[in-house]
């Protein structure tokens, strides 16, 4: 029997203590008068599969999944949405009837909604430089390529990982690869998807990589300016954005999957980024 009380949701990751997701989903729930609980759960790699199954056996309603479990989550579920299958990574799980777990990936939609709808960035025919080739990039490549950029370059410290992604997603558009030092210039949009800023570092890029009109987007967020955006600002870039909008938009897509309604996001982004 399902227990009484609020509908239960959680984020599984390692680490998770820094996450803003409980705050975001709390604001979403308030918009609709929904009674939900959203917990952060630190789950180590070896315990992930068991923890997911236990959560849903115990009538949990939905999960978010973050680093380092997104690829493992794609293996745990019974069914993938087309976008999660293409990404090979899952950030949202919902239980359908009789313990059928559906895995989705809302990261790409979150990024595109923030870039296009919130920030008014035009992607078609543009030249996009993506820094990094890890799990965060895997989730956003297909949605970015579907916006038909002229070129999408993946620059990464480890060249083989960039090559692997270029092979996997090359059918969707024109992907080139490079290291950081030879990342080139004339980019309309530069997205930092490395985890370097978590340790206060940033890839060493050529100064030509950004110009005053380049949109610079860091998937990282936090109160302080990120090393990448600080660097871009020093070079005169005026359109610098932290990833608060992507965070809130991917959460809104997850909420839609779980509860059938899409929350209003602008006020939530302002609450996080504006304060
Ligand atoms: P995520 O899910 O956040 O993408 P990940 O799969 O561990 O995490 O990938 C981290 C990314 O950040 C990788 O592209 C990594 O580069 P490598 O493929 O060479 O490991 C990149 N990265 C991490 N620390 C970095 C640093 N100090 N400088 C440059 N790139 C870094």
* CATH code of the domain containing 174: 3.40.50.720
239 lines ligand 1 (CB under 6 A): no
Same domain, 130 and 217: yes
Residue 228 in any domain: the answer is yes
Q: Hey, whose CA ends up nearest to atom 20 of ligand 1?
A: 158
Same domain for 63 and 21: yes
Per-residue pLDDT band for 275 (boundaries 50, 70, 90) equals: low
- The mean pLDDT value for 130-136 works out to 94
Take residue 189 and report the two structure tokens written for it.
Answer: 């949009």
Residues 75 and 116 in one domain: no
Q: Give mean pLDDT, residues 12-24.
A: 94
Residue in 134, 153, 159 to alter for ligand 1 test, most ligand atoms within 8 A of Cβ: 134
Q: Is residue 174 situated within a structural domain?
A: yes
- 150: in domain: yes
| pLDDT greater than 80 at residue 98 | no
Q: Which of 133, 195, 204 to mutate to test the pocket of ligand 1 (most atoms within 8 A of CB)?
A: 195
Query: Distance from the CA of 64 to the center of ligand 1, in angstroms?
Result: 21
86 pLDDT exceeds 70?
Answer: yes
Report how far ligand 1's centroid is from the alpha carbon of 115 (Å). 22
Q: CB 145: neighbour CB atoms within 10 A?
A: 20
pTM: predicted TM-score of the whole model, two decimal places: 0.95
- The minimum-distance atom of ligand 1 relative to the CA of 67 is 2
Task: Name the residue with the closest Cα to ligand 1, atom 18.
Answer: 158
Ligand 1 in reach of 198 Cβ (< 6 A):
no
Q: Give catalytic residues, as residue numbers.
A: 70
What's the average model confidence in pLDDT over 133-138?
92
Mode of pairing for the β-strands spanning 100-104 and 151-155:
unpaired
Long-range pairs of 193-196 with CB within 8 A, sequence gap ≥ 24:
193/130, 193/131, 193/132, 193/134, 193/136, 193/137, 193/140, 193/219, 194/131, 194/132, 194/134, 194/156, 194/157, 195/67, 195/132, 195/134, 195/136, 196/227, 196/228
Beta-carbon contacts of 74 under 8 Å, excluding residues fewer than 6 positions away, are 80, 84, 85, 87, 88, 89, 90, 103
> Is 23 in the same domain as 51?
yes
pLDDT digits (tens, 9 = 90+) for 220-249: 888 788 999 999 999 999 999 999 999 999
Is ligand 1 within 6 A of the CB of residue 31? no
* Assigned domain for 220 exists: yes
Q: How much is the pLDDT for 223?
A: 79
Find the domain containing 182 and state its range: 108-242
């Amino acid at each position: 029997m399902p227990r009484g009380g609020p509908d239960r949701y959680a984020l599984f990751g390692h680490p998770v203590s820094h996450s803003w997701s409980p705050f975001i989903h709390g604001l979403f729930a308030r918009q609709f008068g929904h009674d939900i609980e959203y917990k952060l759960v630190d789950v180590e790699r070896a315990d992930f599969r068991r923890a997911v199954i236990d959560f849903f056996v115990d009538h949990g309603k939905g999960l978010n999944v973050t680093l380092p479990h997104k690829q493992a989550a794609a293996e745990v579920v019974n069914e993938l949405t087309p976008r999660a299958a293409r990404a090979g990574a899952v950030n949202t799980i919902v239980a359908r009837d009789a313990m059928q777990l559906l895995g989705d990936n809302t990261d790409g939609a979150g990024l595109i909604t923030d870039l296009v709808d919130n920030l008014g960035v035009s992607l078609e025919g543009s030249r996009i430089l993506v820094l990094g080739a890890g799990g965060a990039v895997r989730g956003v490549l297909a949605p970015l390529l579907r916006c038909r950029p002229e070129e999408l370059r993946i620059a990464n410290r480890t060249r083989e990982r960039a090559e692997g992604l270029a092979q996997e997603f090359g059918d969707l558009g024109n992907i080139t690869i490079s290291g950081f030092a030879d990342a080139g210039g004339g980019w309309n949009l530069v997205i930092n998807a490395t985890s370097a800023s978590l340790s206060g570092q940033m890839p060493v890029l050529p100064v030509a990589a950004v110009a005053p009109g380049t949109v610079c987007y860091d998937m990282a967020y936090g109160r302080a300016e990120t090393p990448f955006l600080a660097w871009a600002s020093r070079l005169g870039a005026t359109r610098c954005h932290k990833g608060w909008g992507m965070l809130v938009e991917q959460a809104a897509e997850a909420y839609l999957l779980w509860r059938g309604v899409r929350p209003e996001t602008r006020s939530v982004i302002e609450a996080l980024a504006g304060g």
